[in-house]
Amino acid sequence: MAFIFELPKEINDVLSLIINELGNLLNGVNMPPNLRESAMHYIHNKGKMIRPLLTLITTHTLGGNLMDAVNPAIAVELVHVATLLQDDIIDGHLMRRGSETPFKRYGTEYTILASDLLIAKAIEYSLKSKTRRITMELTSAALRLAIGQSYELEYKLNGKVDMNIYMRIIENKTASLISAAIVLGGYVADADSNTINLLRSLGEKLGAAYQIRDDIIDYLNLDKDNPKGLRSVDVNVIDALKAEGFSDPLKEAYRLFMGYMSEARAITASIRGGEVFAGIIDFLQDPLTKLIEGNKNQV
């Protein structure tokens, strides 16, 4: 979900500003170097910035002031980075994004504390935003992230997977923060409560679809950027569908993905400026459809 496709210049400019602000996050704060380095690792070695971009795109689409989205967008990215640090510890990841993880390099202790630091900074940025509801939205997402991660832990410890546990994991672990990122944009743009609810549902559908898509791509071993398959959740939809007895789990996974896409598309129809989101849906859907067409003989 790299939004390299024709982002309006205003959004790119604000994104650069956010990246710059993030780079200076801990300037002027005294702390042991190991704590600073762990906390800054995924900020220097940044990902696709999907969540802040979703906040910016939503703000822009709904006619909000992009500058008001800076603090919420920083906050949502910081929550995401904090979860990466914890994910490394919990899953014992030694490498991510092509380099040694902070957990591996600095140890569990500094990495836990770095995650605390980032969560505190996330709250701090969110509180500088125009409404308290932005902090509330992020807090609810953080709660669900912890629950989602612990369901994934349950799965890993007892090895059993079914669609029920799979859905609990991805709804809480992936969809929660994607959804929050979009809702934050709604708050920045002073969207009414009906629109906020639509944005939240849209985010939940997009988040689930995004995770299933990621699973399919991983299953087909087609992720060139991430050949070792380090993924946002360790449980794959294909395994869950196999466990449920589906004879063609890839087809079923794609059907599931398309179901979420279609629900998401239906929601966008009720949102002012929803065609922007429809564009994101196409962007997610079209390459996967081609992939599935080209891999029909794989299963």
Residue 149 binds a second copy (CB under 8 A) = yes
Residues 6+ positions from 158 with CB-CB distance below 8 Å = none
Which token pair is 170?
Answer: 């991805």
Residue 108 binds a second copy (CB under 8 A) = yes
Residue 146 binds a second copy (CB under 8 A) = yes
CB atoms within 10 A of CB 190: 14
Residue 289 binds a second copy (CB under 8 A) = no
Residue 68 binds a second copy (CB under 8 A) = no
Q: Which is nearer to a second copy, 21 or 223 (CB)?
A: 21
What residues between 109 and 138 interact with a second copy by CB under 8 A?
A: 109-110, 112-114, 116-117, 119-121, 123-124, 127, 132, 135-136
Q: Output the smallest distance, CB 46 to a second copy, in A.
A: 22
CA 108 to chain centre: 23
Q: Output the smallest distance, CB 241 to a second copy, in A.
A: 22
Which token pair is 146?
Answer: 């912890």
Residue 174 binds a second copy (CB under 8 A) = no
DSSP state of 94: S
Contact 161, 155 (CB under 8 A): yes
Cα-Cα-Cα-Cα dihedral sign, residues 288, 293, 295, 299:
positive
Q: Which is nearer to a second copy, 34 or 295 (CB)?
A: 34
Only one residue has tokens 């967008």, namely: 73
Q: Output the smallest distance, CB 276 to a second copy, in A.
A: 30
- CA-based nearest residue to 167, from 199, 213, 212, 216: 212
Round the CA-based radius of gyration of the chain to a whole number and report it.
Answer: 19
Question: To which H or E segment does residue 96 belong?
Answer: strand 95-96
Choose the stretch contacting a second copy; rule: CB under 8 A; options: 53-61, 83-91, 250-258, 284-292: 83-91
Q: Output the smallest distance, CB 277 to a second copy, in A.
A: 28
Q: Which of 2, 29, 95, 266 binds a second copy (CB under 8 A)?
A: 29
Tell me the number of residues near a second copy by CB under 8 A: 38
Q: Output the smallest distance, CB 145 to a second copy, in A.
A: 7
Give the largest CA-CA distance in the chain: 58
190 HSE (CA, 13 A, CB side):
5
Q: Which residues make up the interface to a second copy (CB under 8 A)?
A: 29-32, 34-35, 86, 89-90, 108-110, 112-114, 116-117, 119-121, 123-124, 127, 132, 135-136, 139-140, 142-143, 145-147, 149-151, 153-154
